[in-house]
Chain A
Amino acid sequence: MFFVLLERLRQGYNTSKYPKIEPILSPRFSGVPKITGSCDLTCKACIDVCPTEAIAKKEQSIAIDLGKCIFCDQCVPLCTHNNIQFTHEYRLASHQRSTLLVTKEVEKIGFQLNQQIQKLFKRSLQLRLVSAGGCNACEADLNVLGTPVYDLNRFGISFTASPRHADGIIITGPVTLNMKQALMDTYDALPSPKIVIASGTCAISGGLFQKSDEVCNGVDSLLPVDLYIPGCPPHPYTALNGLLQFLGRV
């Protein structure tokens, strides 16, 4: 017991002051892209290098779909006009798939509060996670929300074992054919009203697996999604911020 107490002193206080104080992320972290200038009409350099087909031409310029982008930064050095920069803005989540499309005009990912969701879940949200064919990094970084640093519980949000006790389902991975049935069964086991969260590029669009005939390319085609959290994997603060925005807590 003595050693336990001693160690408690040594390890110190670990919980972050978020959301009162903004988190400090690695200076090399890539968040919301900023698109400037216009393109040569024939140039496809960024489009060709993108591993997930996240970039498309749009009105003399380009648009990046954050539902597909894996934030690999490969497109950045290829643009001869220096049109693409990734900012450190980690607030990426949105209530709507179309809002994830970043163009020259977009500075920030829009988020619209849903009154009913706020009313029902603001103080308490129990989530059942279903991992459906990703690489496990998304699960791993959702898991850390339970560690003392993020301490998800202090916001009244927690992961629950039984779908029957859950208000919503949070899905990672592109949904493999092999996992589809189990995912649908889990969803059905949730009492209504229920919400669906797609976390990570895979769950939003199939991500790096979108060309495979073994996956469903995300949750959208199967269930109505209420919250999209982009990233490959989403940074824990991106996920935390997304959840808090969703509940109207930040």
Chain B
Amino acid sequence: MKKIFLLISIFISSVFAEVDGHLDIVKKGMVLPKIGISIASDSLERDTLSKIKKALTDDFNVSGHFEVANISSVSAYDSLPDILGLSNQGVNLFVNLSAKKDTNGNYTLMTKLYDINSRALVLEKNYTTSLEERFVFLAHKAAISINDHFKAPSISWMDRFVVFSVYEASGKADIMIGDYTLTYKKRVVSGGLNIFPKWADKEQKTIYYTSYNYKKPTLVKLNIYNRSKDVIMDSDGMLACSDVNADGTKLLITASPTGQPDIFLYDTRTRAKKQITTYSGIDVGGQFVENDSKIVFVSDRLGNPNIFAQTIGSSGVERLVFHSNNNSSVTSSGNNVIFSSKDASNELGKSFNLYLISTKSDSLKRLTSSGINQFPKFSTDGQSVLFLKTDGTSSIGIIRLEHNKSFLFPLTGKRIQSIDW
């Protein structure tokens, strides 16, 4: 039995080993392990479990590492599944789900993973939350564990929070956190206009955001767990934290102390700020690239918004994008840059698409094909992109760069102002 399991592991590892982290690689004809998900017949917590099953299905699909099989097979949690029936359907892996609640309100998701070919239980794991409303994170954790069990490329980003600002009314916006599908949402800042949230640390305990509840637009650092606040700086006109570097020691901030929007580098240890751009028009949206030695940003210095690069400490500016005349937002990860491009130059052209480029090459890759696609943000590993799509309805999108696939999760409710992952 161990030999058969070893063979499956080697098979799966060899499939994933082909994904080498280079963004342009697109796998075609790759055979993925087929996984079936079922709720145990003797489980009592069926409502939330149904939602968990759906979330787990989405996670496996988004991972790009499994093919989710549509199965009807059910079995009790402590029984062996219908191995023969599942095998006949070509299923390689089977996940049986159950759940329990204790008297303290803790909700526990129980999972058993079977290797159908080896007829063996290969992974049994429970996941507990004190708040049942956070059930979707149990699904994300289970997906990550099963993915890790087969040593597939990490999908640990699924477990992270996104932080976003939502317009509540004219001149009012609240800040919320949620999971990457926005199935779970929780308000963390409310009242007045609160915009441009960014995670301040890897642990996702603190955020930066711009508050209009002071005399001037003010950049605030907030610990969302103990509510401690630190006012970083203020500015007439506008203020936005555009990027936080990997270790949280440097920020790129768009500020306008003299009524002129320019990009500043802020050192969180010394609280010193240094002006990087000095153009008399619009310079915004600075993003660190090439180990924080350089920034990419949006500027209208050629008459329309476009993407430029500048080495920190130098005044020379280089145009980075020669596609379209209206590219007004940019995000980066390492040397990779994604920008949002408006295909028509007037307000009636309703198509914004996302494009991937590198600061080290001339490559240009289109990532979306229709609709309004905005707010691109790289995952922490740089291999996935979160974005918002508006095409009649609004959806949150995930692009899996290595797999050349994208997924949409419909959004209901209010308009999102800005999002960070």
A binds B: no
